[in-house]
Amino acid sequence: MYRFFKSVLFGIPIGVTFLDCVGYVARVDGISMQPALNPDSSQTDYVFLSRWAVRSNNIQRGHIVCLISPKDPSQKIIKRVVGLQGDVVATLGYKQEIVRVPEGHCWVEGDHTGHSLDSNTFGPIAIGLMTARAAFIVWPPERWQSLPSELPRKRIPIQIAKSTNYQQA
């Protein structure tokens, strides 16, 4: 019994530290990131979310990130980074056709255009709302893969900022 309590006493802080600093696995629901995630609507992807990438300011255009929804803070959403602070982005149905992403913000979009609540709905997202970067699909086994950091050619910013706190692709 002593060994069990000793293991728990050491295991819980190590586990919490890992989840808080390194990352965790999460289920991705919905079609907004098709075809990158959940390409078949009957199947759900589980991804490893790296907290380390966000904490080390290692977010680039094309990365898929998890963030707190600006519409509903109790909900987390997953989207692709299209523009970083200072970039000029052509929007898809936002109230302005062209937006310069303000300092401390980024522009995020779902891959399934028209089926996503993203920056085209609520505008630039504060970088502070980012919680993690999606690095790998870990389930189902036939989809095991690293998630590429590719930005669709048609979504490359009109003008890319010369310097940002976040690395450029």
DSSP state letters, 23-86? EEEEEE-SSTTTTTS-SSTTS-EEEEEEHHHHHTT---TT-EEEEE-SS-TT-EEEEEEEE-TT
pLDDT given at position 168: 43
Among the residue ranges 14-18, 95-99, 132-136, 157-161, the one predicted with the least confidence is: 14-18
Decide which of 160 and 84 is more confident: 84
Domain with 129 in it: 23-151
- 9-45 pLDDT, tens per residue? 776 776 666 666 667 888 888 888 888 788 887 788 8
What b-and-e string marks burial along 36-68, b requiring 16 or more CB atoms within 10 Å of the CB?
bbbeeeeeebebbbbbebbeeeebbbbbbbbbb
Whether residue 127 is predicted with pLDDT greater than 80 in this model: the reply is yes
Instruction: For residue 84, tell me if it sits in a domain.
Output: yes
What CATH number does the domain containing 33 carry?
Answer: 2.10.109.10
Range among 98-102, 142-146, 159-163 with highest mean pLDDT value: 98-102
Q: Within 10 Å of residue 79's Cβ, how many Cβ atoms?
A: 26
Supply 80's token pair: 């692709």
Catalytic residue among 32, 50, 116, 119: 32
Told to judge if 32 belongs to the known catalytic residues of this protein, a careful annotator would answer: yes
pLDDT given at position 147: 86
Decide which of 114 and 109 is more confident: 109
Q: Are strands 76-83 and 64-68 parallel, antiparallel or unpaired?
A: antiparallel
Mean pLDDT of the chain: 83
What b-and-e string marks burial along 107-117, b requiring 16 or more CB atoms within 10 Å of the CB?
bbbbbbeeebb
Instruction: For residue 29, tell me if it sits in a domain.
Output: yes
Instruction: For residue 159, tell me if it sits in a domain.
Output: no
Strand partners, 100: 88
Q: How many domains does the chain have?
A: 1
Catalytic residue among 50, 79, 116, 119: 79
Residue located via tokens 């295991």:
11
Told to judge if 162 belongs to the known catalytic residues of this protein, a careful annotator would answer: no
Instruction: For residue 132, tell me if it sits in a domain.
Output: yes
* pTM of the full structure: 0.80
Give the whole-angstrom CA distance, residue 120 versus residue 97: 10
Instruction: For residue 168, tell me if it sits in a domain.
Output: no
Give the whole-angstrom CA distance, residue 97 versus residue 117: 17
Give the whole-angstrom CA distance, residue 78 versus residue 76: 7
